[in-house]
A and B are shown apart, each in its own frame.
Chain A
Amino acid sequence: MKGPGNIDLSRRDVLKLGAAATAAPMMTKAQQAAPDAAVVTTASLTVNGKTHALKLDTRTTLLDALREHLQLTGPKKGCDHGQCGACTVLVDGRRINSCLTLAVMHQRHRVTTIEGLGTPAKMHPMQAAFLKHDGFQCGYCTPGQICSAVAVLAEIKQGIPSHASKDLNASMQPTQSEIRERMSGNICRCGAYSNIIDAITEVAETKVST
């Protein structure tokens, strides 16, 4: 048996198949002993409007499910520890670090990646603004920056305060200090920050005026 791109079955695949066969009683078994091989389970993930049935090692993060199982390579693995924000996706419209959550925990959620926000032919306004303002250099952090930026404007619109908000009870405005604070979970090693802020500000202003 050959998998796509694989010469033959890897040891991991064998373990997966073996564990899959015993997946049903895994919960009761696990209470007696630690599993010494991968535990494989089935999971249904709804991503960018499409539902997929997947067989996953329980250890699979949402990020790895998106990249390795669904070939959605927009979300990037930067640090894999929630420090850089390159893996940011939207879950039920809220931005999270997809590297710090398990795929099996999101079976009832709607996941949106950069691929679901827009396409080269029909870009999301935030994607277009990043292009216009040169909001990137190498581009590795960009999908996370854009997903985060889209959510930041939604959070401001919903009145969610931030550390930069002087008055917790006033309506929130997309000022530069608010955007900088709210985007602090997305690191850009190229240092395109000022252009990123310009891009987000333009989208915010367009939204306010329309």
Chain B
Amino acid sequence: MRPFSYEQAATPAAAAAAAARNPDAKFIAGGTNLLDLMKLEIEKPAHLIDVNGLALDKIESTPDGGMRIGALVRNTDLAADARVRREYPLLSRALLAGASGQLRNSATTAGNLLQRTRCPYFYDTNQSCNKRDPGSGCAALQGFSRQLAVIGSSNSCIATHPSDMAIAMRALDATVETVQPDGAARKIPIADFHTLPGDTPHIENTLKRGELITAVTLPKAVGGKQLYHKVRDRSSYAFALVSVGVVVHPDGSGRVAVGGVAHKPWRVEAAETELPRGAKAVATRLLAGAKPTHDNEFKLTLVERTLEAVLAEARSAG
């Protein structure tokens, strides 16, 4: 790990301003992903801004009947929140499908959104990776790509976003709230938050330099059956090959967001109009234009079958 200086920020705006002043600074909250990457010298911040003292750890109701989740709310506390369990069960289910009990106790809501990919070529510093070292190439394209993206990828990067929570946030139409270095607040719809790799895979979201996430808000609960199915190589504590989060209403309409397939949570609203026609119709539209590799083309079938299983469960669930 490279040496770094350390400060505890006094206010969110001060944290953002400090980060804007120092291009080599990073925020640290839970640290579960950042410290892992710092040990490998994939992340090399010269300065850490500890945001844990910023009192952004509350879950509150919003005037429109929704919910504001502080950036520092730990994954365990969000999954266990009584109102989240009752009104946004998809979010609880997605959180509980991720990581381990220890990690969920540390990991924060904002940090979860900002997780880096677990692409093995990003982690192996002996391999070329445009995300870790822009312009160096992508060893994954010709490599072992079973875990990697099938859609929205580019010739520069086929990494996936690893978060389960973000899939639920995307399906639930969350909004990311931030504070900028000048102290101004900004709201970013979750659909516009994560980016596709294009030829700049080192850019993973639309945050500006120094901008700090302060909260994630959810609109008023939409009801329906909410389910999250994660398919993975172990039954616990593993990243998704494919995950499917759904909201299904009694009239058959609903929402579908998919994880493990792209550089961001994958949701195509137009595909949801196919829900009454079943999983195959939805998956066909959702994954139109997919460019899988030989190693991961099975994910296309897996998405359709997982969606079919989830929809069957939604129909049968009391």
A interface list, Cβ under 8 A from B: 26-27, 29-31, 33-39, 41, 57-59, 61, 80-82, 85, 88, 94-97, 100-102, 104-105, 148, 151-152, 155, 158-163, 165, 168-169, 180-186
> Does B3 contact A37, Cβ atoms closer than 8 Å?
yes
A185 touches which of B35, B39, B80, B102 (Cβ 8 Å): B102
Given contacts A100-B31, A161-B85, contact A185 B103 (CB under 8 A): yes
Q: Which of B60-68, B86-94, B185-193, B255-263 contacts A (4 or more CB under 8 A)?
A: B86-94
> Does A163 contact B97, Cβ atoms closer than 8 Å?
yes
A163 touches which of B6, B7, B48, B236 (Cβ 8 Å): B236
A-B contact pairs, 7 of them (CB 8 A): A26-B5, A31-B18, A39-B4, A39-B6, A59-B4, A105-B52, A183-B101
Complex alpha-carbon distance, A158 and B85, angstroms: 14
Among residues of A, the one whose C-beta sits closest to the C-beta of B79 is A161
Q: Of A81, A100, A158, which is in contact with the most chain B CB atoms at under 10 Å from its CB?
A: A100
Q: Interface 1/0s, chain B 11-42, versus A by CB < 8 A? A: 00000001001101100101110011001000
CB B313 to nearest CB in A, in angstroms, measures 12
Q: Of B2, B28, B101, which is in contact with the most chain A CB atoms at under 10 Å from its CB?
A: B101
Q: Of B3, B31, B92, B97, which is in contact with the most chain A CB atoms at under 10 Å from its CB?
A: B3
Complex alpha-carbon distance, A159 and B2, angstroms: 41
A148 touches which of B5, B39, B48, B101 (Cβ 8 Å): B101
Complex alpha-carbon distance, A159 and B79, angstroms: 11
Among residues of A, the one whose C-beta sits closest to the C-beta of B6 is A58
- Find chain A residues with CB under 8 A from B80 CB: 158-161
Complex alpha-carbon distance, A30 and B46, angstroms: 7
Q: B297 within 8 Å of A by Cβ?
A: no
CB A75 to nearest CB in B, in angstroms, measures 12
Tell me the B216-263 residues at the A interface (CB within 8 Å). 234, 236-237
CB B75 to nearest CB in A, in angstroms, measures 11
B interface list, Cβ under 8 A from A: 1-7, 18, 21-22, 24-25, 28, 30-32, 35-36, 39, 46-48, 50, 52, 76, 79-80, 85-86, 89, 92-93, 96-97, 99-103, 105-106, 234, 236-237
- Find chain A residues with CB under 8 A from B7 CB: 27, 30
> Does B89 contact A102, Cβ atoms closer than 8 Å?
no
B39 touches which of A80, A96, A104 (Cβ 8 Å): A80
CB A36 to nearest CB in B, in angstroms, measures 7
> Does B4 contact A58, Cβ atoms closer than 8 Å?
yes
A102 touches which of B2, B18, B28, B97 (Cβ 8 Å): B28
Given A169-B85, A184-B234, 20 additional A-B pairs, CB 8 A = A27-B7, A34-B46, A35-B3, A38-B3, A39-B3, A59-B3, A82-B32, A85-B100, A88-B102, A96-B102, A101-B32, A148-B101, A160-B76, A161-B96, A168-B85, A169-B86, A182-B101, A184-B237, A185-B100, A185-B103
Q: Of B7, B28, B93, B106, which is in contact with the most chain A CB atoms at under 10 Å from its CB?
A: B106
Ranked 4 nearest A-B pairs via Cβ: A185-B100, A30-B5, A34-B46, A184-B236
- Find chain B residues with CB under 8 A from A185 CB: 99-103, 237
- Find chain A residues with CB under 8 A from B237 CB: 184-185
- Find chain B residues with CB under 8 A from A80 CB: 39
- Find chain A residues with CB under 8 A from B28 CB: 102, 105
CB B247 to nearest CB in A, in angstroms, measures 15
Among residues of B, the one whose C-beta sits closest to the C-beta of A181 is B236
- Find chain A residues with CB under 8 A from B6 CB: 26, 39, 41, 58, 102, 104
Among residues of B, the one whose C-beta sits closest to the C-beta of A87 is B102
> Does A35 contact B106, Cβ atoms closer than 8 Å?
no
Complex alpha-carbon distance, A185 and B102, angstroms: 7
CB A63 to nearest CB in B, in angstroms, measures 11
CB A109 to nearest CB in B, in angstroms, measures 10
Given contacts A41-B6, A59-B3, A161-B80, contact A30 B47 (CB under 8 A): yes
B32 touches which of A29, A97, A160, A163 (Cβ 8 Å): A97
> Does B3 contact A36, Cβ atoms closer than 8 Å?
yes
- Find chain A residues with CB under 8 A from B93 CB: 163, 168
- Find chain B residues with CB under 8 A from A151 CB: 101
Complex alpha-carbon distance, A155 and B35, angstroms: 26
- Find chain A residues with CB under 8 A from B18 CB: 31
Among residues of A, the one whose C-beta sits closest to the C-beta of B29 is A105
- Find chain B residues with CB under 8 A from A41 CB: 6
Given contacts A30-B46, A31-B18, A41-B6, contact A95 B236 (CB under 8 A): no
> Does B101 contact A155, Cβ atoms closer than 8 Å?
yes
- Find chain A residues with CB under 8 A from B50 CB: 104-105
> Does B46 contact A102, Cβ atoms closer than 8 Å?
no
